Structure 1
Amino acid sequence: MQKLALFLLLFSNLLIAQNDGWNKIKEDIYQKTVKENSKETVKDPDIVAFTTYGFAKGETIQLDPAKQITSVQTSFEDLKSFIKSDLDLKKDSKYLVKIQMKEPENYKYNIFLLDKITKQDKEKLEHYLKKNYDLTSIEYISKEDAKNNAKKELGVEEGDLFEEDVFPASFQLYSKKPLQLEPVTKLFPKIVEDTIDNNQLPNFIVFDVKT
């Protein structure tokens, strides 16, 4: 019990440190004043500029170009709509707004298969995945299905030039928890071509706002 109490205390202090200097304006949304040069409040028609940055869990906030996601100018009204929260900003000033991202309800992965694998190869891999991973669902997508899905998404009409053989068969996996798929590539080198993690979203986003 003492160890648990100590852990909870340390965890609580860590959360406080992460949000030190930030003003909580809504659940999972924080605002920090960098420079305030006016007492005049920004209103909906006013134009603001903001740059967004993405960060991983526990990462220090440094507004590095490598972390930049986008940079735009828009109305203050649109900024509030995008963030889904009211903001108290003054003109000719600079602020940071931090949004904690929610964990996905389902984690999604793709395992792309090499061409010319046998039915037995497919069944062997599927059995391994179901036995060794806690999956909510698993779906096999054939080369034909992958081709048709690509045509639909790209808006390709019948008769259009289209490289039909470039889309591999795959397994699409869903799980409530993150998965480590490196063992699959190592154990099935003659079956698996590649694995894709579709969940590489930032843990939190920071808006660098200039009014």
Structure 2
Amino acid sequence: MTTQLPLHDALTQIVQAAGNDLWVTGGSAALMLRGLPLASSPRDLDLYCDDEDGAELHHRLKQYALNTPHYSESDIYRSTLSHYAVGGWRVELVAGFQVAAMGCRYRVEVKEVLLPLGEAVTFGDGESITLVPLAHELWFNALRGRADRVETIVGGMSLHREKHWTAMNAIEERNGFPNGYVTQVHNWINQEEGGDRDWTLKYASSLQAGR
């Protein structure tokens, strides 16, 4: 995929400073780079790396740093965060990201899973980055209860469904997802082929009922 979107300058500067071998791009900016519809423009640019690579990437990006890496933990998230200002964009580097919700625990593995199974984006002057697999976006947004984002992602996956199953299987095999929930998520993908979007309403309702 080749792109010339507003993120181009920021991503070019990041690649020139930090290389492209230790991190991937995710979140709404990555969905925008894929051309998927968003309700609003991305507010920042999310980069993911493994915990052991956070300090090295911070060193490479230090000229743009707004703060130093700091551990962050909430009810469902755990990571080490640092922030940068690059090319007019606020950039968040998320190291060692974990999500625990819905009886699931998802540990993000960049070098082992997301980098080799992600989608490359090449810019006009030759730089390239890797977008997280849509399988990651699906599981992440399912676990945090973003039914609107899940619907967008499933719509993108349905265009070339077969190419996403390798990443789906890798993520599911390496994390603690209950079988019933895995089946439910797979059903969302399979139902998209027939145009059945009722699952989004059922999903949102079940989340509300469980709170």
Judge same fold: TM > 0.5, yes or no. no
- Between Structure 1 and Structure 2, which shows a larger proportion of strand residues? 1
- Between Structure 1 and Structure 2, which shows a larger proportion of helix residues? 2
User: Shorter-chain-normalised TM-score: which range?
Assistant: under 0.3
Structure with more relative contact order (C-alpha pairs < 8 Å, separation 6 or more): 1
